[in-house]
Amino acid sequence: MSREADRRRMEELRELLRYHNYRYHVLDDPEISDAAFDRLMNELIALEDRYPEWVTPDSPTQRVGHTPAEGFETVTHTVPLFSLSNVFSEDDVRAFAERAQRWAGTSVDFVWELKIDGLAVSLTYEEGLFIQGATRGDGVEGEDITQNLRTVRSIPLRLGQAVDINVRGEVFMNKAAFVQLNRQREESGEGLFANPRNAAAGSLRQLDPRIAAQRPLDIFLYSIGYVRDQELQYHSEVLDYLAALGFKVNPHACRCQDIDEVLAYVRHWSENRGELPYDIDGVVIKINSLALQEKLGYTSRSPRWATAYKFPAEQKLTTVLDIQVQVGRTGALTPLAQLEPVRVAGSTVSRATLHNEDYIREKDIRIGDTVVLQKAGDVIPEIVASRPELRSGREQRFSMPKQCPACGGDAVRPEGEAVTRCVNNSCPAQRLEKLIHFASRSAMDIEGLGPARMQQLVEAGLVAGAADLYRLTEEQLLKLERMGPKSARNLLQAIEASKKQPLSRLLFALGIRLVGIEAARDLASHFGSLQAVAKASLDELLAIRSVGPKIAASILDFFSEEANQRLISELAAVGVTMEESRGRNDAEEPLQGITVVVTGRLEGCSRDEVEMLLREAGANVTGSVSSQTDFVVAGERAGSKLERANQLGVRTLSQGELWQLLRERGVVDD
């Protein structure tokens, strides 16, 4: 193929990828599978590698994140980003409307929008090309986070028109993505984000854009700072215009004739916000006429033509009965508040993580305190504050132990870190947690070897390390309580079967600090063998999409330790697969070509585990329902994705029906 033909193909691929990216991330209605999209992307990457002089700033390949920044430059906003005034009652909303009408001298209509709980940003385009993105900052100056915003796939790098425009929006992380990210961070020994907003803000303020690229961020656009050669009269027209340019606009915005309509929507979303897949913390009410907006103008801090009604958080008072310390598999010591049970946001809560010593000190939480409890993202229990005015004087301050509560070894807080760690590699709590992790469903998936059984094996002296699992005999197992011949044989068969797990699962099972499921999958795919990963240099590791400097350093540290080298040698000696299988055939992928969405709460397993099982069987697992979806697996509280499936006539399966299908296709045994 000639150079000119290659250049034309590159342009064609960019347009195709932009179109399919828009269908997937903005319209939530993809036309091709993830695998087909990846093939187009890989073709473009190969051509751009061949012709780097033809790489354009709006190319879809520029979303992956590049060299870490030294720090963020300051950006002066051409048009200030004012924050909104807040109101907290229906009377306040009516007062705002009456005041606006009095200032306007006429009746007005309104647009209400959901107030997304995220991070406000400003995006600037010249001739339709994205050139700069910044945080709100103080409203006058913000931080230049252009490279991180390029990684947000619902932000178009090129607009549908060659227009000069500045737009404003809210970057957020949906609830499911937040829960999954925290689960991966917990499994990798990292600290947890307190809520989706902190996760989104923390992701956008990473100096390494490659980390931001790994985070499932999204955006809704809601206003225009300036636009050249475009006359708009109403805010409702602004939203339509943004959508026409290719921006993602929240579908729940609505024009209202009077404040009574606005209040009806305020009440509706105050009661039903939990149904949304993302967090909102209120409703924004704006005067629709842009001319009136300009006439009313601004105070020193906020517009007079808009306000935000803030929802009250569901909070309950409870008592801290005790603060205990858990030891994780990476040695991290995590304080955990034992609470007087209380029902919050639909479930009974009896404990909440306190994260680290700084968190406890900042909120002044003591044993015996009355505290305010809520659920971050309506999911994770968190203590918002203590109530010192209710103290009796018998409350006790908490201090992190100097010795590990499990082994008595030194507990050290490294300089610059928030987490205290047990530094004893032989700590029995760490060893047990590492073994439990090794056998877990997301790792080696050894059926019948849960935490209680693993603890039994360790306490009986049968297992000290992962390789010992593969040396167990039926005679040894039969000496354990509640272990009959059939159970022993089943467990040994499950252990034997785990030897054939793919390399990605083994890498995750080894418990390398900071290496989650995604990074393990990328490492296995790139290097092909555990030996190659172990010998990889820092630069080779950093070339992996999901591996940043901290993860790379952790991998190098892991494979440099003699104990870990010995473990890998022992696992290889007992027959555990050390290489990634290549070139699967159709018989090994019985669900090849099938697109599946998994939603809702599943019984006895997590969505991640089911999705991994489906992917390993060849299925294309996606996060949104479209006309291209073959079926939706719907657990309890399936919500909007199930509704979407019913609207489109997409087949839905219960968890039981899914297992039946998997048995019929030979994915799982009877």
pLDDT of 8 > 70? The answer is yes
pLDDT level of residue 300 (50, 70, 90 thresholds): low
Please report how the helices 90-104 and 259-272 are oriented relative to each other, as an axis angle in degrees rounded to 10: 150
pLDDT level of residue 586 (50, 70, 90 thresholds): very low
Integer Cα distance of 150 and 60 in angstroms = 9
Phi, psi angles (nearest 5°) of residue 380? -100, 120
- Write down the pLDDT at residue 571: 96
Integer Cα distance of 420 and 409 in angstroms = 12
- CA trace torsion 365, 369, 372, 373 (10° rounding): 80
Integer Cα distance of 17 and 86 in angstroms = 41
Integer Cα distance of 398 and 323 in angstroms = 8
Paired with 634 in beta bridges are 599
| Options 115, 175, 286, 641, the catalytic residue | 115
Integer Cα distance of 520 and 512 in angstroms = 9
Integer Cα distance of 551 and 211 in angstroms = 10
Containing H/E element for 141?
A: strand 141-143
pLDDT level of residue 637 (50, 70, 90 thresholds): low
Q: What percent of the chain has pLDDT over 70?
A: 93
Question: How far is residue 474 CA from its own chain's centroid?
Answer: 42
Site of tokens 């190969």? 46
Give the CA radius of gyration of the chain.
27
CB neighbours of 604 closer than 8 A, spacing ≥ 6?
none
pLDDT of 378 > 60? The answer is no
- Write down the pLDDT at residue 311: 84
Which of 10-19, 170-179, 527-536, 563-572 is predicted least confidently?
10-19
Termini Cα distance of the chain: 52
- Tokens representing 438 are 């090794």
| Among 369, 327, 320, residue whose Cα is nearest residue 349 | 320
Site of tokens 């009574």? 260
What mean pLDDT is reported for the chain? 86
Q: What percent of the chain has pLDDT over 90?
A: 45
- Write down the pLDDT at residue 613: 78
115 carries an active-site annotation? yes
pLDDT level of residue 589 (50, 70, 90 thresholds): low
- Write down the pLDDT at residue 1: 60
Integer Cα distance of 449 and 452 in angstroms = 8
Question: Does residue 2 sit in helix, strand or coil?
Answer: coil
* pTM of the predicted model as reported, rounded to 2 decimal places: 0.54
